[in-house]
Amino acid sequence: MHQPSTVIQFRWDNSYAERMPGFYVSCAPSVVPNPVLLRFNSRLAEELGLNAGEIDLSLAAQIFSGNELPAGAQPLAQAYAGHQFGGFVSQLGDGRALLLGELVDGHGRRRDIALKGSGPTPFSRGGDGKAAVGPVLREYLIGEAMHALGIPTTRALAAVGTGEQVMRERSLPGAILTRVAASHIRVGTFEYFAARRQDDHVRALADFVIERHDPNLMGEANRYLLLLKAVAERQAALLAQWMLVGFIHGVMNTDNMTVSGETIDYGPCAFMESYSPHAVFSSIDTGGRYAYGNQPMIARWNLSRFAETLLSLINDTAPDRALTEATDVINGFMSRYQALWLSGARAKLGFAIAPADDEEDSLLAQDWLDLLEQHAVDFTLGWRRLADAAEGNPELLEALFPSVDALRPWLERWRRRLAQQPTSATAATAEAMRAVNPIYIPRNHRVEEALASATHNGDLVLFERLLDVIAHPYDERPGLEDYAQPAPREFTACYKTFCGT
Ligand code: AMP
Ligand code: MG
């Protein structure tokens, strides 16, 4: 018989704590009364080399609540600023999160391990620094869904109930999330030091980021311009992926945009149901600034704020030159995004090969989206059922439209384009399409029912089931038909998401 391992081993290698004094405040997590492990991500733990094969549940609860600090952890709250809904806030920082440390995982990748909801820090600005169980499980679930979809994201290692209540609009059970990230450095981290005219700090931060995320740029004479390009490239790729699965982040403030290119901070996010560029669910986004269709432009706007922090590094002696070079990068963002989006859309449409001229595919994709919008077709199912149509079974697709006639002209164009492919093996085409068009996304009503059950009944069954469904988003499985279905229209019509702090 195996003994549960009594030590979860973190092989810490804390570069931020060691090398970046002045960029954070050391701070211990608050002690919580009665921590209980709600979920532990064993596969991720394995990837991180934690030696947590058969963990002792109560010990894990102590560690992932912050009650017991693993040896070598150096908990700290990172400083950052940020543009929130377009307005600059010069000090935000980790007000409810702490970086415990970093380690190098089994693939040689450096990962941050952080607690979220672990109590007040010097950056809390009057907030309690805590989190409720609903938002913690939400971040767990959506992050894991994004990962399973193949989209860069922070991950969830553990969720722990704290045994205390937190006061929001009402009293709610508290929880703490353990978040794993390539790093927690944001556009807002750069803005914090740039706003204070601490040029040496901005340079140190840029050098740190280059070493961590873009080591190939080390030693390049124009490395700061290249860093801007690299971050822009990662964001263009990320945004293309979000848009292709209908993900709406909901609060794309510059403090919620990483330089690593990972999606971070799952607060008021949601997946789109019926297609609309105007889709917005966040209760605080009354102007629709962060609506689905605005996201690429907002990423570009955020990158402009990032570029501004780097100008003096890009060229100290010729500011005009620096401005021109940085502006060129920003101006190139949308076309780069569009190229990446089109290449993803092409795969979703079942076209293996790009023609010499993009124009036709671009039009076909746009007309498809227009059709989905016009008939309020479910975005996820629309794409997925196209795969069946590729195999000669258009019925399920047609059923999503008010009439066959609404779809027919477009479908004929699409079939003609499909027929131009070198291979006519329809089964192979359909299979390739199913590998990029998910059948299961975390449907908003499913997420809410799982979180409500966990919050009000302490029952994690629905959460576990949903986690299992979204872990394999591309494999249609019998018995899970309900999970592929959109929410009732009445639900979506009044669905609102909250920042959930
Ligand atoms: P977010 O909405 O997660 O992007 O957070 C924006 C800012 O508000 C960050 O500086 C957070 O640390 C801070 N914040 C959010 N919730 C809390 C809370 N409950 N207590 C203290 N600070 C918070
Ligand atoms: Mg944030």
C-alpha to C-alpha distance for 131 and 66, rounded to whole angstroms = 13
List the residue whose alpha carbon is closest to atom 23 of ligand 1: 95
pLDDT level of residue 6 (50, 70, 90 thresholds): low
- pLDDT tens-place string over residues 147-187: 999 999 999 999 999 999 999 999 999 999 999 999 999 99
Question: According to DSSP H, which parts of 293-398 are helical?
Answer: 295-314, 319-349, 359-374, 379-390, 395-398
Q: Domain locations in the chain? A: 4-184, 199-268+288-340, 354-501
In this predicted structure, the answer to whether residue 3 has a pLDDT above a threshold of 70 is no
In this predicted structure, the answer to whether residue 60 has a pLDDT above a threshold of 80 is yes
In this predicted structure, the answer to whether residue 500 has a pLDDT above a threshold of 70 is no
Examine the residue annotation and report whether 199 is marked as an active-site residue of this protein: no
Please report the pLDDT score of residue 5 as a whole number.
Answer: 52
In this predicted structure, the answer to whether residue 1 has a pLDDT above a threshold of 50 is no
Mean pLDDT, rounded, of the chain: 95
What average pLDDT score do residues 325-346 get?
98
List the residue whose alpha carbon is closest to atom 22 of ligand 1: 95
- Give the SS3 label for residue 277: coil
Pocket test for ligand 1, best of 83, 96, 164 (most atoms within 8 A of CB): 96
Distance 116 CA to ligand 1 centre (A): 10
Distance 255 CA to ligand 2 centre (A): 6
Distance 184 CA to ligand 1 centre (A): 14
**Tokens matching residue 416:** 């003609």
Give the number of whichever ligand sits closest to the CA of residue 501: 1
Residues contacting residue 104 through CB under 8 Å, at least 6 positions apart: 11, 13, 110, 111
- pLDDT tens-place string over residues 91-137: 999 999 999 999 999 999 999 999 999 999 999 989 999 999 999 99
In this predicted structure, the answer to whether residue 501 has a pLDDT above a threshold of 70 is no
Residue predicted with more confidence, 354 or 451: 451
**H or E, element range at 86:** none
What average pLDDT score do residues 402-408 get?
94
**Tokens matching residue 318:** 């010729």
- pLDDT tens-place string over residues 301-323: 999 999 999 999 999 999 999 99
**Tokens matching residue 311:** 């100008």
Least confident range from 42-56, 220-234, 299-313: namely 42-56
Please report the pLDDT score of residue 410 as a whole number.
Answer: 98
Alpha carbon separation from 90 to 97, 192, 254 (Å, rounded)? 18, 6, 12
**Tokens matching residue 435:** 């590998």
The percent of residues in the chain predicted with pLDDT above 90, rounded, is 91
Distance 265 CA to ligand 2 centre (A): 5
- pLDDT tens-place string over residues 445-469: 999 999 999 999 999 999 999 999 9
Please report the pLDDT score of residue 356 as a whole number.
Answer: 77
In this predicted structure, the answer to whether residue 421 has a pLDDT above a threshold of 50 is yes
What average pLDDT score do residues 30-44 get?
97
Q: Quick one: which of 134, 183, 140, 205 has its CA closest to 500? A: 134
Please report the pLDDT score of residue 51 as a whole number.
Answer: 82
**Tokens matching residue 277:** 């560029």
Please report the pLDDT score of residue 98 as a whole number.
Answer: 98
What average pLDDT score do residues 47-65 get?
91
pLDDT level of residue 335 (50, 70, 90 thresholds): very high
- pLDDT tens-place string over residues 238-283: 999 999 999 999 999 999 999 999 999 999 999 999 999 999 999 9
Q: Which residues line ligand 1 (CB under 6 A)?
A: 92-96, 123-124, 127-130, 255-256, 265, 267, 499, 501
Pocket test for ligand 1, best of 116, 118, 124, 501 (most atoms within 8 A of CB): 501
pLDDT level of residue 353 (50, 70, 90 thresholds): confident
